[in-house]
Amino acid sequence: MRNLNLRQKIGQLIIVRTTGYIFDHQIRYPAWEATQSQLKKWLEELNLGGIILLGGSCAEIAYRTQQLQSWAKTPLFIAADIEEGVGQRFTGASWFPPPMAFSKIAENNPLLATKYAQKMGNITAKEALAIGINWILAPITDVNNNPDNPVINVRAFGDNPQVVGDLAEAFIDGCQSYPILTTAKHFPGHGDTSTDSHLDLPKITHNLQRLQEVELLPFQQAINKGVDSVMTAHLLVETLDANNPATLSYGILTELLRSKMGFEGLIVTDALIMGGIAKYSCGEEIAVKAIQAGADILLMPENPEIAVNSIEKAIHDGILSEARIDESLTRIKKAKAKLFNHNRETLSMDVICTPKDISIVNEILVQSLSKGGNLPLKATNQGINLVVVHDLLNCDFLDRQTPAVAIPETYGYQTQLFDHRNLHLAPYQHQPILLQAFIRGNPFLGNGGLTESTKIFYQKLLESDSLKGIIIYGSPYILQWFLPRLKPETPWIFNYGQMSAAQKLSCQDLFNLSTNYDIQKGDFL
């Protein structure tokens, strides 16, 4: 990174998003994901610091990351939101249940939960590096103590600050076996909000003592453990700064995080195209104010050229200094030196989703599962397997051969798939029904999973004689709503995970199947 001009220096402070798929026609989010020609232009002219990827298989990502690095003048950060393992975003790799599953295990066995969190970090780092990802945007270090939180929810390690800190620390420890970057997010704590910062700016009104005892404690543990980066939250934390979102607050990023908490690594903003910050000001001002506040990396500005131009102009106008850019560049150089050491081991695709890794995922699923009622569910004639998801167009964990579909069908429950927005159209009067609800808080939904209209439907179903069994995949807060309304004899299963492994385990427990059940053949081995 020697002899960079000012614009090239500024470019190193910016990460843009693109698709993990190979071709432009596969782009799923055109407003967010750069095309091939855009990327080449930006890498050539702006010397961008990195890329964040979403979508594709492990094989595609392995090719894609090599392609992107070959286009870059300066070695790239290649990041991904892989909070639940590489398989959460890129098919073929290990996919863990959401972090809140680990706090369930910690209730009875804290040491076992810590061991599993460490294993998850280790496996995630190993698999990420094998496909060319060098920056893990995890662990979530928020304390989710608000059941109505629409955006953090099960992504957090729980509602106990010490447990969250211990599990986040264990995840970081597991990653540290490999030359890869980790991220504690979202500073100074996004767990106690009922607003999704993807849509609007949440406000936190707690006093300083409360923030120190709850929100900040896990971040301090992560810093002490040597986390490489901290991601900002698009929040207005009134006690710390009544005027600026945390992402744009000098008092929060520099005075608190850097000076008081002693963090020396990279400060990266959350995505700058999110509504919580984009509604606050224009892109030009946001880019400049984030750097003034103390951010080193601007993640996903709406237009990187505008961001570079605005920062360059601010330097010429005396609002920012080139020395301030050099401070961040020094931290970036240090981080990249860790990643691109020529003596580091190259990992092959053979390390992805090994039998040992699969076993670890299954153990975590088993240890965190809950169940009750009169199990098992009996076979029936002409039953309905009512499967409810949030968004049929963006449901990547179901197909005709997944266990949630295949296993119930062998017991007489034929699948009917519904988007939660059209749930009022689903039948429930006459035929025996198995309800499988995939419900968890997700970004952009604006709620924690249940809407008033879906509650009405579920209440009627729960009061009917048609409901014979229920499986809930995702949020324990949803389970807490269902249980008081569920007839005591109705068999139920709760699983934090939504992926195929979680479905298989849940259906096996519901129907009392042998673990040797062959889904493809629809019979026991």
CA distance 203 to 238: 7
Give Cβ neighbours of residue 239 (< 8 Å, ≥ 6 apart): 204, 205, 206, 207, 208, 211
- Tell me the C-alpha distance between 230 and 141, whole Å: 10
Distances from the Cα of 517 to the Cα of 386, 435, 505, 525, angstroms: 22, 21, 11, 6
Q: How many CB atoms lie within 10 A of CB 400?
A: 8
Distance CA 11, CA 251 (A): 25
Q: Looking at 198, 234, 390, 420, which residue is catalytic?
A: 198
Q: How many Cβ atoms are within 10 Å of 57's Cβ, its own excluded?
A: 15
Residue partners of 318: CB distance under 8 A and separation at least 6: none
- Name the catalytic one among 159, 166, 270, 357: 270
The answer to whether 244 touches 289, Cβ cutoff 8 Å, is yes
**Residues pairing with 517 in the sheet:** 524
Residue written as tokens 């934390």? 237
Residue with tokens 């059940």: 517
**Rounded CA separation 188/185 (Å):** 8
Which two tokens mark 444? 């952009």
DSSP-based three-state secondary structure for 215 = coil
DSSP E strand stretches across 265-304: 266-268, 298-299
- Nearest CA to 328 out of 3, 45, 71, 14 is that of 14
Any catalytic annotation for residue 270?
yes
Q: Is the preceding peptide bond at 355 cis, omega within 30 degrees of 0?
A: no
CA of residue 39 relative to chain centroid, distance: 24
Tell me how far apart the alpha carbons of residues 430 and 441 are, in angstroms, rounded to a whole number.
31
Closest Cα partner for 266 from 188, 186, 172, 329?
Answer: 329
End-to-end CA distance of the chain: 58
C-beta separation of 128 from 86 below 8 A: yes
Q: What share of the chain is helix, strand, coil (3-state, %, to 5)?
A: 45, 15, 40
Q: Return the active site residues.
A: 198, 270
